[in-house]
């Protein structure tokens, strides 16, 4: 297999990661015609990995803390991030698609880096998130089973939040004045960071 090194400069001003190289393109035998990409970022991810890992709903995440290896189930494929800055992306259409997707993640990685630098990150939120169960979330929801989010019950919704199949933004009633207490308790339970991870974009 030829070693073609394709380098892509993505963020000229990127605080941590500016460019990514594709180090290997392998056939993905599980899916006919798709490929497996090995990529290398221009920086190591040692420092930001714990913060980065906490940005995603736990259902999509397999994080090995003592090795700082993060595997995500996202964009209909499995992507593994290694502390050395290496990335393995499965089930991809072609290198271009791989780069498109990785650019999104590079942006997030840079954000995490800035958070860590400003002292906001660094906390191992993945552990905190792993201790939060659907019942904890349910207790902070309106509990009216109104179905506005597209799910039949608030309990089912809280399970979907954790699996990454729903976002907090989908619960419109949470933004209403009558539920402000619930929203506060949710904020207390999760904190800013994890609220975002579970798909909360709003101001409160």
Partner 1 sequence: MNSALIIIDKAPYGYENALSGIYIAIASLDKGIQADILLMGDGVYAALKDQSSEKTIGYPSVGELSYSIFPEGNLFVHLDSLNQRGIEYDDLVEIAELIDDKTLYNLSKSKNHIMKI
Residues of this chain that bind partner 1 (CB under 8 A): 1, 3, 24, 26, 29-30, 36, 38, 62, 67, 69, 71, 78, 80, 82-84, 86, 88
Q: How far is the CB of 97 from partner 1 (least distance, A)?
A: 19
Q: How far is the CB of 32 from partner 1 (least distance, A)?
A: 11
Q: How far is the CB of 71 from partner 1 (least distance, A)?
A: 5
Structure tokens at 9: 């400069």
Q: Are 168 and 197 in contact (CB under 8 A)?
A: no
Q: How far is the CB of 163 from partner 1 (least distance, A)?
A: 18
- Residues with Cβ < 8 Å from 147, sequence gap 6 or more? none
Q: Are 51 and 115 in contact (CB under 8 A)?
A: yes
DSSP 110-130: HHHHHHHHTTS--S-HHHHHH
Q: How far is the CB of 47 from partner 1 (least distance, A)?
A: 15
What's the half-sphere exposure (Cβ side, CA atoms, 13 Å) at 108?
A: 17
Q: How far is the CB of 29 from partner 1 (least distance, A)?
A: 4
10 or 38: whose CB is closer to partner 1?
Answer: 38
Structure tokens at 82: 């290694």
40 or 193: whose CB is closer to partner 1?
Answer: 40
Q: Are 8 and 98 in contact (CB under 8 A)?
A: no
Report the b/e string of 158-180 with b at 16+ CB within 10 A. Answer: bbbbbebebbbeebebbeeeebe
66 or 131: whose CB is closer to partner 1?
Answer: 66
Which burial class, exposed, middle or buried, applies to 187 when counting CB atoms under 10 A from its CB (0-12, 13-18, 19+)? Answer: middle
83 or 95: whose CB is closer to partner 1?
Answer: 83
81 or 113: whose CB is closer to partner 1?
Answer: 81
50 or 142: whose CB is closer to partner 1?
Answer: 50
């Amino acid at each position: 297999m030829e070693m073609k090194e394709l380098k892509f400069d993505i963020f000229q001003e990127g605080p941590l990661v500016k460019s990514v190289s594709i180090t290997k393109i392998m056939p993905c035998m599980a899916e006919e015609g798709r490929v497996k990409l090995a990529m290398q970022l221009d920086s190591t991810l040692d420092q930001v990995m714990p913060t980065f890992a906490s940005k995603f709903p736990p259902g999509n995440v397999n994080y090995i803390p003592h090795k700082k290896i993060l595997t995500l189930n996202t964009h209909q494929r499995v992507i593994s991030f290694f502390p050395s800055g290496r990335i393995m992306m499965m089930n991809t259409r072609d290198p271009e698609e791989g780069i498109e997707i990785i650019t999104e993640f590079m942006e997030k990685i840079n954000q995490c880096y800035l958070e860590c630098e400003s002292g906001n990150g660094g906390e191992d939120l993945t552990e905190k998130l792993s201790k939060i169960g659907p019942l904890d979330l349910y207790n902070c929801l309106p509990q009216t089973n109104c179905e506005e989010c597209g799910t039949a019950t608030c309990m089912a919704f809280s399970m979907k939040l954790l699996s990454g199949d729903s976002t907090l933004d989908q619960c419109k009633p949470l933004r209403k004045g009558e539920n402000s207490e619930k929203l506060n308790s949710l904020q207390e339970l999760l904190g800013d960071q994890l609220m975002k991870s579970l798909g909360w974009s709003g101001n409160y």
